[in-house]
Chain A
Amino acid sequence: MDFNFNFNFNFSFWTVTTVTLLGLFIYYMKNPEKFEKLIALISKYLKIIFKKFDYSYIKFDLQGKINDYLKKVSKKVKHIDIRKINIKWIRPEDQEIKDYIENGELIIRLKKGENQNENIVIASMAFISCAFLKKAKSYVSKSQRESIDLYACYDLLKEEKSEILDQFVQDFMKEKMDDIKIAEYFEKYHEVDKVGLFYPVFIQELTFLGEKVFAIKRDSQKIYEEVTSLTNYLFKYSQRKLNEETISDFNGHYCKFALRIIGKKFKIDNLGKKTYTNNLERLPKDFETVYLIGSTGNKEFIGEVFNTCANRCNLLKMTDEHYKAKIKDRNGNEFEVDAYMLIARSNKVVVYHQ
């Protein structure tokens, strides 16, 4: 049998333009932070002629950068406090001294667009301290909170031009790192982040902790010790070499979770999902979160393991994600892998505020 297809495409200029604009519209609707960056770029050139555009350049450049970072984090951490930041220009004519003293808020001074690098550092630090991870930072100690802020700000700025990160490092980070406790935490977060667990496990667990201890009697010393143990536990995981069996469960007073690596070819091929489901079903009843981790190639298998035991273990899937992780081979040398993580949460957990 012989098929002959003859397609005759005859698109007009207007059709192509309409389709392109529609495509861009959908893209920017889905990625508003990219649209903010586009406005910032346009404003950057318009402000050369019209000075008024300096406002929109500064505002949207900052919003685009911070909201891009927030989007990345909110994909990895559930129940995060904020999803967007709005840089709000204060109009002097709207301010009255009496109102400001009674109900006013912090106002940050931003310089003209020529000094945007400085503005980025200042606004990023203010955002991280004022608004970011409030829930996660609520009950941790001062050094733990400051180290989290420092690492988050570093992570936000590391994607920017090197002189911006330099300014942050020289002016703020260097001195903070003189504090041994903060430096130790920072180094551990960095290692944990390399294996991809800083946001989806560490910050996630702190967020859960914040939700749980909100309304119950809390012991600051116990929380401090637990957060330290959590950091050390994840740091130990980050130093794990390929196929090393070092992972136990984290059974704290506030955080109770299990990390399961589903990846050994021998186990998957010969023992199948039963070996993993049996293991998960043996978890104590008060366990709250399960993190199933494996290579991207094992995504389907991990999904099957979860589906098989979800009901029996009272687990609900919270989220899953693909990410790049740097793990260590048997000799301790780092190499990059495409990893996959499925996060499931017990439906028995009592939460006081979300």
Chain B
Amino acid sequence: MKTNLNVVHDNDLIDLLKKLKLFEKIQMGQLKCKFTATVITFQNLHSIFPESGDIKLVCNSPEAIKKLSEYINEHNI
């Protein structure tokens, strides 16, 4: 069995964020990391995933990445 790991390249990140209507919110510092509540910036964004009708963002701090790993295991995202 083959499994996909979805990734976005740094070169495409801005376009993707614009498409998902996240660009301006990040620019204005309105979005926070789901796990650490750190303000998300273009530099510290690690990943995104949909949940309960919304898009969640995760920052690149080791703490957030560790919590994301646990969350993936528990919630099968």
Contact = CB atoms under 8 A, between A and B. Distances in A.
Interface string A108-123: 1111100000000011
Contact of B46 (A82, A84, A87, A122): A122
Contacts of A242: none
A88 interface: yes
Interface in B61-77: 62-63, 65-66, 68-70, 72-74, 77
B49 A105 contact: yes
Nearest to B16: A92
Contacts of B13: 109
A112 B49 CA distance: 21
A87 to B, nearest CB: 5
A93 B15 CA distance: 8
A339 to B, nearest CB: 29
Nearest to A148: B73
Interface residues of B, number: 39
Nearest to B1: A82
Given A125-B69, A137-B73, A88 B2 contact: no
A112 B11 contact: yes
B20 interface: yes
A193 interface: no
A101 B1 contact: no
B2 A95 contact: no
Contact of B5 (A54, A87, A93, A142): A87
Interface in A44-86: 54-55, 58, 81-86
Contact of B9 (A82, A89, A137): A89
Interface of B: 1-13, 15-16, 18-21, 45-50, 53-55, 62-63, 65-66, 68-70, 72-74, 77
Given A105-B49, A175-B62, 13 more contacts: A81-B1, A84-B3, A88-B6, A95-B19, A100-B55, A107-B8, A108-B8, A109-B46, A123-B5, A126-B69, A129-B73, A130-B72, A146-B70
Interface of A: 54-55, 58, 81-93, 95-97, 100-112, 122-123, 125-131, 137, 142, 145-146, 149, 171-172, 175-176
